[in-house]
Structure 1
Amino acid sequence: MIREEFLRLAAEGYNRIPLALETIADFDTPLSIYLKLADEPNSYLLESVQGGEKWGRYSMIGLPCRTVLRVHDHTVSVTHDGVETERLEAEDPLAFVETFKARYNVPTIPGLPRFNGGLVGYFGYDCVRYVEPRLGKCPNPDPVGVPDILLMVSDAVVVFDNLAGKMHAIVLVDPAQPEAYEAGHARLQALMEKLRQPITPRRGLDLTRPQAAEPVFRSSFTQGDYENAVDTIKEYILAGDCMQVVPSQRMSIDFKAAPIDLYRALRCFNPTPYMYFFNFGDFHIVGSSPEVLVRVEDNLITVRPIAGTRPRGATEEADHALEVDLLSDDKEIAEHLMLIDLGRNDTGRVSEIGSVKLTEKMVIERYSNVMHIVSNVTGQLKQGLTAMDALRAILPAGTLSGAPKIRAMEIIDELEPVKRGVYGGAVGYLAWNGNMDTAIAIRTAVIKNGELHVQAGGGIVADSVPALEWEETLNKRRAMFRAVALAEQTPEG
């Protein structure tokens, strides 16, 4: 962008203007760029693997963010460079998020990647309480104690093009600052200089060594208590109270490795459409979610229900047999069809009449440890609504709550012993251009104070078998614990 164009955009009223440099990056990877430029608090790395086997085209590396928005219950706090600049009580924190984002008036620049910054982070499961007052405050203790919402103002980002082997470094510039254009380009040049420096070597993660035993975990449930919860849900279903509920258990272990090494192991063992690493300073989030919560791109809403699970087979023949078994399981099919209907209904609440479509129905997607039944629902966002309206309508996903959704969540409050926190919420971004891309926070670890917490659950219907439901939660956490074992290898073995 030449200086005259920058000044023209400033005169048009834009208060943040992206400046960018494009460069060949065939000697770098998204992970090496993160380690060179962003390995500090309030940074992130977002990657994607499509269909469990092909890397998505773009990876996003968020440089340390100076401005961070946090919400605990209804208390909103905004900090800049670690100093609190705003603190208020918000009846609807989601509305505050929308007005906060609107403070940043950013033009769309031709030739730049579709994502060039925005609000990046997560909305926890309990954000639904801002939308559904009937649920009230979460009645359960919160031993992990992370914010209900944490969003970073991402104003410096590297977008890595995995196909072309090139990257865009993008910084947002405030044109009201003195010499803003020159300072922005100076920052870009400084980033390029840092990229030319050698990376500090990290220890190798040896895949040839014998697999360490899975760590012994501390659960929020005993197996007996979890199975009793399943039986209680079945009683509610038989009484006509609900059709499905999705309980979960939290599994916690001591964790001594570097969180980035866990991400390295996880992207090897369990590549998924949503890979993410967040360094929030006092805690980290590391995840490999297979499931979109809601995506809004050019006003097209997408949700992608996943329900129905089998472990992967040891051979191609065994894998195929498990697929056939999954697709012929009446319980799994009934559960999935119920969640397709819920996805259609949620999408329809914020879509133009007649625009909701089921574009894929009950296809199998394979991941490292499990396979799932997956469908795809789309709708055209109603005129006058925003991506945040879509989030309100869809969070939490039916696959993490049940049907009917509000009654299912009341039962979850009754039966689960701890507040869910990040689990079952939304991880991703709200882009400056109005687009949104969020994953459901599953297959996700929260690392804080030397402990790692991962949560897993499953949909309960009338004919669920309690012991098998317990086993399903163990299967879903297996890839994460395998990655933990690799990340915690000692160099000597």
Structure 2
Amino acid sequence: MHCGDAVGLASPAPALSLPLKGADPVAVYHALADGPGYLLEFPGLPATVGLDAEVITLPHDPYDTLRAISCDGPFSPAGYLGYEGGGHFLAATDAVLIYQDQVTLFSRREGREGKARLARMADLLLSCDLVYPLPPDREIPRDLSATMDRPTYTDGVRNLKSHIRDGDCYQAVLSRRTDIPFVGRPLGIYAKLRSHNPSCYGYFLDYGYTQVAGESPEMLVSAAGSTITTVPIAGTRPRGKSPAEDAVFAADLLNDPKERSEHLMLVDLARNDIGRVAEYGSVAVSRYAEVARYPTVQHIVSTVTGKAAAGRDGYDALRACFPAGTVTGAPKKRAMELIAAAEHSPRGIYSGAVGIAGRESLAFAITIRTVVVRDGIASVQAGAGIVAGSDPDREFDETMMKAEHCLRAVVSAGEV
């Protein structure tokens, strides 16, 4: 369809569909965005770009507010909930949906202004390169600044193990943050992340003052109609250098009593969370203890589902599950208290949730494998679940493995 056809579209909600062979959502976002906006690429949903967006700050208890501002279609607000409870959302004024090779443009602007906006966007799309250039790979420097070095982190692990032995909790997730000076395009970080992780929950949020780029492997809560789902991940091994070595590491992971017991504990916690808002007898584990592979690690993954009870919905499920037990430990309240004492600084965006708030459906992934860019600093945070049988050095190495892909993306996307 030629962009001139946009002029004939009816107001007050003009729309235009453009078939574009090989359309890349990142390239579309790069071509059109000139202010706060977002790009979401969640499996099973069309890629969604929000443009010219208004930033909404939610209250400390955001769930009722999210429900109130939710809507269906391309204008559903998207954003993040910080681990400590608040959130920031972007309500799109203009939006772009990517259906494989088709770009669908929408505008909330009325009359001639909206039609002219679509025409300009379409002209730009038809004339631009629809493949975003990937930055070359670069090696991660060895002298990066982190909130905890190996001795500090392993001391923290030993301290948490003493609390576990005393019965304070069963597990606690201890994380560490790495900060890197960054000069460059934050969108390049996201492009690099997704080039290796296309099956994950991808997101790029630009608030003007902060950018968030992530490829999370873990769905916190999704809801479609009355069906609510959470997908806990717990248990980690590195990727092998060959398919045969991958298989060896995966078998070791599945046969490790510590990893299996930790995973079972967190699946039970997820069942309990979903059960708080689900119809009695509807909670089920539809997939249990399967290995999923990502660029630098492989994990044990399960899926827990339930049917929302009468008067309950996906926002109640989000409240019940947030923050995820896989990033806190169990029991949640005491584990979070111990984490706060050990980490000494708020987590903020890390280990919260990012997603899109629809009226009839919602989808929120956990903000892990995520880069936050603010004031010329790119931050990457990763944690490991500490249990009674944890080896402190091995847990530190796990945080390094989990952070590696994001750190490499930051270094590669930055200007030399």
TM-superposed deviation, 1:35: 1.4
The match for 2:397 is 471
1:228-377 → structure 2 map (5 Å cutoff): 228-377=155-304
The match for 2:345 is 418
Task: Give, in whole Å, the separation in 1 of the partners of 2:384 and 2:178.
Answer: 15
Farther-moved stretch of structure 1 (378-387 vs 434-443):
378-387
The match for 1:46 is 40
Task: Give, in whole Å, the separation in 2 of the partners of 1:311 and 1:246.
Answer: 18
* Pair 355,68 (structure 1): closer, same or farther in 2 beyond 3 Å: same
TM-superposed deviation, 1:96: 3.6
Task: Give, in whole Å, the separation in 2 of the partners of 1:434 and 1:154.
Answer: 18
* Pair 458,361 (structure 1): closer, same or farther in 2 beyond 3 Å: same
Task: Give, in whole Å, the separation in 2 of the partners of 1:63 and 1:292.
Answer: 25
The match for 1:68 is 55
TM-superposed deviation, 1:217: 1.9
The match for 2:122 is 192
Task: Give, in whole Å, the separation in 1 of the partners of 2:260 and 2:133.
Answer: 45
Task: Give, in whole Å, the separation in 2 of the partners of 1:399 and 1:201.
Answer: 36
Off by >6 Å, runs of 4+ in structure 1: 200-203
The match for 2:4 is none
* Equivalent in 154, 158, 171 of residue 96 of structure 2: 158
* Equivalent in 50, 64, 88 of residue 95 of structure 1: 64
* Pair 352,20 (structure 1): closer, same or farther in 2 beyond 3 Å: farther
Aligned amino acid, residue 283 of structure 1: T
Farther-moved stretch of structure 1 (295-304 vs 381-390):
381-390
Task: Give, in whole Å, the separation in 1 of the partners of 2:339 and 2:276.
Answer: 24
Q: Write the deviation string for residues 58-87 of structure 1: whole angstroms up to 9, x where unpaired.
A: 21111121x22125x75xxxxxxxxxxxxx
In the alignment, structure 2 segments of 5+ residues that lack a partner are 1-9
Tell me, yes or no, if the aligned pair for 1:270 and 1:369 is still in contact at 8 Å.
Answer: no
The match for 1:59 is 47
Tell me, yes or no, if the aligned pair for 2:173 and 2:327 is still in contact at 8 Å.
Answer: yes
Task: Give, in whole Å, the separation in 2 of the partners of 1:448 and 1:356.
Answer: 41
1:378 is the counterpart of 2:311: no
State the identity as a percent. Answer: 38
The match for 1:453 is 379
The match for 2:5 is none
* Pair 324,237 (structure 1): closer, same or farther in 2 beyond 3 Å: same
TM-superposed deviation, 1:190: 3.4
The match for 2:78 is 120
TM-superposed deviation, 1:382: 2.0
* Pair 125,213 (structure 1): closer, same or farther in 2 beyond 3 Å: closer
Task: Give, in whole Å, the separation in 2 of the partners of 1:410 and 1:345.
Answer: 20
Tell me, yes or no, if the aligned pair for 2:31 and 2:124 is still in contact at 8 Å.
Answer: yes
1:32 is the counterpart of 2:27: yes
Partner SS state of residue 436, structure 1: strand
* Pair 204,276 (structure 1): closer, same or farther in 2 beyond 3 Å: closer
* Pair 348,320 (structure 1): closer, same or farther in 2 beyond 3 Å: same
TM-superposed deviation, 1:93: 4.3
Q: Write the deviation string for residues 371-417 of structure 1: whole angstroms up to 9, x where unpaired.
A: 11000011112222232211111110000001111111111112111
Compute the TM-score of the two structures, normalised by the length of structure 2.
0.91
Tell me, yes or no, if the aligned pair for 2:26 and 2:132 is still in contact at 8 Å.
Answer: no
Partner SS state of residue 55, structure 2: strand
The alignment covers a number of residue pairs equal to 408
* Pair 350,124 (structure 1): closer, same or farther in 2 beyond 3 Å: same
Task: Give, in whole Å, the separation in 2 of the partners of 1:231 and 1:155.
Answer: 50
The match for 2:407 is 481
Partner SS state of residue 412, structure 1: helix
Aligned amino acid, residue 24 of structure 2: T
* Pair 235,380 (structure 1): closer, same or farther in 2 beyond 3 Å: same
* Pair 215,322 (structure 1): closer, same or farther in 2 beyond 3 Å: same
Alignment RMSD: 2.3
* Pair 120,341 (structure 1): closer, same or farther in 2 beyond 3 Å: same
Partner SS state of residue 346, structure 1: helix
TM-superposed deviation, 1:156: 2.0
* Pair 482,282 (structure 1): closer, same or farther in 2 beyond 3 Å: same
The match for 2:3 is none
Compute the TM-score of the two structures, normalised by the length of structure 1.
0.78
Farther-moved stretch of structure 1 (447-456 vs 254-263):
254-263
1:168 is the counterpart of 2:104: yes
The match for 1:391 is 318
Tell me, yes or no, if the aligned pair for 2:134 and 2:191 is still in contact at 8 Å.
Answer: no
TM-superposed deviation, 1:238: 1.3
Aligned amino acid, residue 122 of structure 1: Y
Aligned amino acid, residue 47 of structure 2: S
Task: Give, in whole Å, the separation in 2 of the partners of 1:201 and 1:316.
Answer: 30
* Pair 489,231 (structure 1): closer, same or farther in 2 beyond 3 Å: same
Tell me, yes or no, if the aligned pair for 2:371 and 2:379 is still in contact at 8 Å.
Answer: yes
Tell me, yes or no, if the aligned pair for 1:271 and 1:367 is still in contact at 8 Å.
Answer: no
* Pair 478,278 (structure 1): closer, same or farther in 2 beyond 3 Å: same
Q: Write the deviation string for residues 349-368 of structure 1: whole angstroms up to 9, x where unpaired.
A: 11111111111001111111
Tell me, yes or no, if the aligned pair for 2:24 and 2:131 is still in contact at 8 Å.
Answer: no
1:15-30 → structure 2 map (5 Å cutoff): 19-30=14-25
* Pair 489,451 (structure 1): closer, same or farther in 2 beyond 3 Å: closer
* Pair 204,424 (structure 1): closer, same or farther in 2 beyond 3 Å: closer
Aligned amino acid, residue 42 of structure 1: P
TM-superposed deviation, 1:272: 4.2
Task: Give, in whole Å, the separation in 2 of the partners of 1:197 and 1:215.
Answer: 42
* Pair 361,197 (structure 1): closer, same or farther in 2 beyond 3 Å: same
Aligned amino acid, residue 154 of structure 1: A
Partner SS state of residue 189, structure 1: helix
